Amino acid sequence: MSIELKLISFKPVKGRWLALAVYFIVSAVAPVAYSKNTLNDFTSDGCSMSPDGFAWDMNAFLDCCVDHDVAYWQGGTRDDRERADQELRKCVEFSSNKYMADAYYRGVRVGGTNKLHTPFRWGYGWVEERGYKPLSREERQQVKAKFKMINWEAIYDSIFLGNKR
């Protein structure tokens, strides 16, 4: 039996119209729901909502924060986030002291969660929220391609000029 004959012989029975309507709605929305998530260009504001250093060395741990922003921009699993936060802690401790490192570590653990929807949350580079899932092969390829295109001079200029992005 051809599709045309099936459609012509379709007799609406109570509840079938609703099922048919749901089917067409899901068919129309499904391609959008499964579309590929895209990664925005990398941005950094240095040490978000915190000083980039001390009065005597205003950029003492700016590089630590920018490296940390790279990890937060691309996102990943909870373990990836913990690893990034521990790396920030080590870097800040090397650049200053254990107390400052612990303060920054605690700050990113609380303020960097993807649940807050801040511009510096975990995985902030992605157009769509992706939670703590591992990066797919396609997402890793996007990260690699975008990372190669980063204009580091422009990133640091925007931080130094106060135009934190």
Calculate mean pLDDT across residues 24-39.
61
Length of the chain: 165
Q: Which of 132 and 6 is assigned the larger pLDDT?
A: 132
Lowest mean per-residue pLDDT among 8-17, 32-41, 50-59, 85-94: 8-17
Q: How many CA atoms lie within 13 A of 85 on its CB side?
A: 22
H or E element at residue 69: helix 62-74
Euclidean distance between CA atoms 104 and 51, whole angstroms: 10
E strands of the chain, at which residues? none
Q: How far is CA 74 from the centre of its chain?
A: 5
**pLDDT value of residue 33:** 47
Calculate mean pLDDT across residues 31-38.
65
Q: Which of 44 and 13 is assigned the larger pLDDT?
A: 44
* pLDDT score of 8 more than 70: no
pLDDT band at 117 (very low <50, low <70, confident <90, very high): confident
**pLDDT value of residue 44:** 95
Euclidean distance between CA atoms 99 and 83, whole angstroms: 19
Mean pLDDT of the chain: 84
Euclidean distance between CA atoms 52 and 74, whole angstroms: 21
pLDDT band at 15 (very low <50, low <70, confident <90, very high): low
pLDDT band at 14 (very low <50, low <70, confident <90, very high): low
Euclidean distance between CA atoms 43 and 152, whole angstroms: 10
